[in-house]
Structure 1
């Protein structure tokens, strides 16, 4: 097993353990079927994308493994990623507490819909990484990087973030909580702030990006914004 595969496996195992702790400790029980199904969907989809990248685009896998506040170079992005990380933790912890105290349970059918939204989000992310070998987890311009304007990039300028939207909305529903949707109040401002700051960076550092924004008018949601 080469070093990249080992690091990807280690990162996946660590992420699984942290996610399990964030769900089952606040829930105060292991009797939480929604969490098991959600983790199966989330971890399974993440693993599938990791295996795909390991085989088809190991350089992109290397780029995407550099993630989080410490991986960003600009101070603004470090701050944004701290808020984004806190927002995602809230998307897990709030539904877990909701499971313990039964504040706002959803029906099993809604939880299934939530899991489908999570799966859809990962599918959209797959289409993005298949189209763009420079879709790193950090904001940067790699050597030789060019503007991508095909596939999902012909629809919106930030299809990776667009793909994340159904995943974010689906997560608290999959975990059985209406109240968890309020955690999006933490995450969405960070996402929009990151998107706008990324556009500022790309206008300045990626040749052809300004012309691309004139061609593809919508940033995140087609016909909306």
Structure 2
């Protein structure tokens, strides 16, 4: 697959992800927050994610600025990247759909926040994080550039490591034993493995 085809595949997935998320972001702005955690750190992490998963990939797709970091990609990488992105998009949509009004981009409890353990959440505690991990792998496979391709994994990896324990602690504090029991019967990212 040539670089243009890989860029087009990436942009199709990128636009689809934004289309999935946008209605939930609009609804999120209308919901009253009851408790938020680590607000400054959350903002810094979102800037990091934005750079690694939006700005650098778009610079790579639409300009030659990052071309000194290009490398040759094999045909299988493009196909595998497209498959990972497709799975990521389905998981992103499903997790947003199942959370409904409970979704928030930051660590916070909302007015009317309910505990969701149905749908995709029956097997995976954090399917949205799993979706973003798959997106990052797809980005690395579809953008054969050491900077733009790996930026998503690095930025999201930092965010995930710094955020996941705080998120689970917040859920435990708010939902107590119900969430503790849920943690014992589900896996964090990949059912039956991790």
**What's the TM-score bracket when you normalise by the shorter of the two chains?**
0.7 to 0.9
Structure 1 counterpart SS, 2:109: coil
TM-score (norm 1): 0.66
- 1:75 is aligned to 2:40: yes
Question: For 1:44-193, what aligned pairs fall within 5 Å after superposition?
Answer: 44-47=16-19, 49=20, 53=23, 61-63=26-28, 74-89=39-54, 92=57, 100-101=67-68, 103-133=70-100, 134-177=102-145, 180-183=148-151, 184-193=153-162
Aligned-pair CA distance for 1:43: 0.8
CA distance change for structure 1 residues 215 and 195 in 2, over 3 Å: closer, same or farther?
same
Deviations for 1:97-148, whole angstroms, at most 9, x for unmatched residues?
Answer: 6972364220344223212211210111111122111122122111222211
Inter-CA distance 94–46: structure 2 relative to 1 (3 Å threshold): closer
Greater relative CO, 1 or 2 (CA 8 Å, sep 6+): 2
- CA–CA distance in structure 2, aligned partners of residues 204 and 196 of structure 1: 12
Residue 191 of structure 2 corresponds to residue 219 of structure 1: no
CA contact (8 A) 2:143 2:149 kept: no
In structure 1, the partner of 2:173 is 204
The answer (yes or no) to whether the contact 1:46–1:122 under 8 Å persists in 2 is no
Paired residues of 1:99 and 1:176 also in contact (CA < 8 A): no
Which stretches in structure 1 are left out of the alignment for 5+ residues?
1-30
CA positional deviation for 1:65: 9.6
The answer to whether the 8 Å contact 2:57/2:149 transfers is no
CA RMSD of aligned residues (A): 3.3
1:221, distance to aligned residue in structure 2 (A)? 2.5
TM-score (norm 2): 0.75
